[in-house]
Amino acid sequence: MTIERTWYPTDKCFINGDWVDPANAATLPIENPSTGETIGSIARGSEEDIHQAVLAARGAYEGEWGHTSAVERGRLLTAIGNMVLEHADDLAFLEACDVGKPLSQARADVKALARYMEFYAGAADKMHGETIPFMDGYTVYTLREPHGVTGHIVPWNYPMQILGRNIGAALAMGNACVLKPAEDASLTALAIAEIAKEVDVPSGVINVVPGLGNEAGAALTSHPDINHISFTGSVPTGEMVQAAASKNVVPVVLELGGKSPQLVFDDVDLDKALPFLVGPGIQNAGQTCSAASRILIQKGVYGTVCEAMAERYSNLKVGPAIEDHDVGPLISAKQKRIVDGMMNQAPHAPIAEGNIVESAPSSGHYVSPKLFADMPPDHLLSQNEIFGPVQCLIPFEDEEEAIAIANGTQFGLVSSIWTENGARQMRLARKLRSGQVFVNNYGAGGGVELPFGGMGKSGHGREKGFEALYGMSTLKTVAVKHD
């Protein structure tokens, strides 16, 4: 079956610059979450395919790629980014069909992918070591070197953006990559492999092996010739990935989602805040690691904020990705079951919900967004990542209580503070336990320049920005004794 608007084989692995059949000739179906229909198939990569991909990456790293200058690596990333933009319409369409993202979100993801390439292309030749003042008779300096072969496990919620931040930083520093996209959403990762071929990225530098997590994914994270692992996904899988990394004693970056709070104080400028309170909660149907899933509201404005958010919710439209509504379907029947199951445990009815449009097929995985007020902070809906279009509203009295609630989950990825009081902004930004804190905004539009990562069970290590380049490289100290 040929999938509309693909210009590359979808049911193969991309290894050593070529499209190859998976070793066991097995495939997995591709489902369109908006309709529930099977629209094609991807390769079900195995341990053997991963092994071949790692060998190819090692060959590239030890060969020509290992001698490619930083400026040339940057130029290749520029070429990838430009080609991504040339294919922008097709990539957005494919992502909408594969993930169920409303088209405008899919288009934004394409732009973000190109922006990652642009950012890391420019950064590639600006990373350097230092000289260190030391004893007389010595010259000491540091060299920033690639790890070697890096493994990347990408989830299904933002395939292009997460691939972009991974591959961009890894290649800028001179690593060779093996990427395992999610079994639920591999189409655009395969497209990027073809784009790499089109712009003559040397063979073996980027390898893509689709497949199941417990097969291809586990084979990649436990492969003894991988020098660094980046993983974005769930906490339980992250724990397994970290265990595999520890067995081979290799560094690992884990981004494991969150339960991110926004703190709304009585002096909030509500007109400015409102779009940010709702948007980041329902974007991508709530399947966002940094989803603003808890809104903590000071008692003086609690009623007003609840009412204003409820009004927005009652106007939300949910429907097929291609029709570009506010919210699309969830990725799969499994994800819908999980989200519905959690919402059924809410202590009371939501104060507002969105509307599923009539054109949405009943076979699609649609969930109407729900807004729950007066949520106890320790309730399971207030504590756990739901990964659906659901927000919990929690009242608080004062700063102290707000911080206790905000920091009172196992996660710590993103948070925001809404207040005009400058001293409070500074005070709380220090006290909040999260990898990013936003003041009077949420997410800053994605910001590829802004280091991103978690505290607690949200994970460790930083992606995005310059910080990712430090993570994607290792430091060598050279001490020369010359008297």
Q: Phi/psi at 33 (nearest 5 deg)?
A: -65, -20
Q: Hey, what are 216's tokens?
A: 């291809």
Is residue 298 involved in binding ligand TXE (CB under 6 A)? no
Taking CB under 6 A as the binding criterion, the range among 39-47, 127-135, 251-259, 357-365 that sits at the site for ligand TXE is 251-259
Taking CB under 6 A as the binding criterion, the range among 88-96, 249-257, 340-348, 371-379 that sits at the site for ligand TXE is 249-257
Cβ-contact 478, 145 below 8 angstroms: no
Nearer Cβ to ligand TXE (144/433): 433
Least Cα distance to 54 among 201, 195, 222 occurs for: 222
Query: What is the DSSP track for 463-482?
Result: BSTTHHHHHTEEEEEEEEE-
Q: Min. distance of Cβ 314 from ligand TXE in angstroms?
A: 26
Q: Min. distance of Cβ 292 from ligand TXE in angstroms?
A: 14
Taking CB under 6 A as the binding criterion, the range among 4-12, 39-47, 153-161, 316-324 that sits at the site for ligand TXE is 153-161
Beta bridge partners of 439: 417
Is residue 217 involved in binding ligand TXE (CB under 6 A)? yes
d(CA 92, CA 103): 6
Is residue 256 involved in binding ligand TXE (CB under 6 A)? yes
Is residue 204 involved in binding ligand TXE (CB under 6 A)? no
Among 193, 253, 289, 356, binds ligand TXE (CB under 6 A): 289
Residue 97 is among the residues annotated as catalytic for this protein = no
- List Cα–Cα distances, 390 to 156, 325, 336, 370, 393, in angstroms: 19, 17, 12, 5, 10
Q: Hey, what are 201's tokens?
A: 């990225």
Nearer Cβ to ligand TXE (40/210): 210
Residue 255 is among the residues annotated as catalytic for this protein = yes
d(CA 453, CA 414): 8
Nearer Cβ to ligand TXE (95/183): 183
Is residue 319 involved in binding ligand TXE (CB under 6 A)? no
Q: Min. distance of Cβ 428 from ligand TXE in angstroms?
A: 24
Among 255, 326, 353, 399, binds ligand TXE (CB under 6 A): 255
Nearer Cβ to ligand TXE (180/462): 180
Tell me the per-residue interface mask from 367 to 396 with ligand TXE, x by CB under 6 A, - otherwise.
------------------x-x---------
Beta bridge partners of 367: none
Nearer Cβ to ligand TXE (188/221): 221
State the number of binding residues for ligand TXE (CB under 6 A): 25
DSSP 327: B
Cβ-contact 209, 178 below 8 angstroms: yes
Cβ-contact 83, 198 below 8 angstroms: yes
Kindly name the residue from 13, 177, 289, 392 that is annotated as catalytic: 289
Kindly name the residue from 95, 255, 353, 399 that is annotated as catalytic: 255
Taking CB under 6 A as the binding criterion, the range among 77-85, 87-95, 234-242, 402-410 that sits at the site for ligand TXE is 234-242
Q: Min. distance of Cβ 234 from ligand TXE in angstroms?
A: 3
Say which residue the tokens 């069970």 belong to: 457
Q: What share of the chain is helix, strand, coil (3-state, %, to 5)?
A: 40, 20, 35
**Binding to ligand TXE (CB under 6 A): which residues in 325-354?**
338
Cβ-contact 297, 394 below 8 angstroms: yes
Cβ-contact 162, 185 below 8 angstroms: no
Tell me the per-residue interface mask from 154 to 193 with ligand TXE, x by CB under 6 A, - otherwise.
xx-x----------------------x-xx----------
Query: What single letter denotes the amino acid at residue 264?
Result: V
Q: Phi/psi at 351 (nearest 5 deg)?
A: -85, -15
Nearer Cβ to ligand TXE (48/401): 48
Indicate which residues carry an active-site annotation: 255, 289
Interacting residue ranges for ligand TXE, rule: CB under 6 A: 153-155, 157, 180, 182-183, 213-214, 217-218, 221, 232-234, 237, 240-241, 255-257, 289, 338, 385, 387
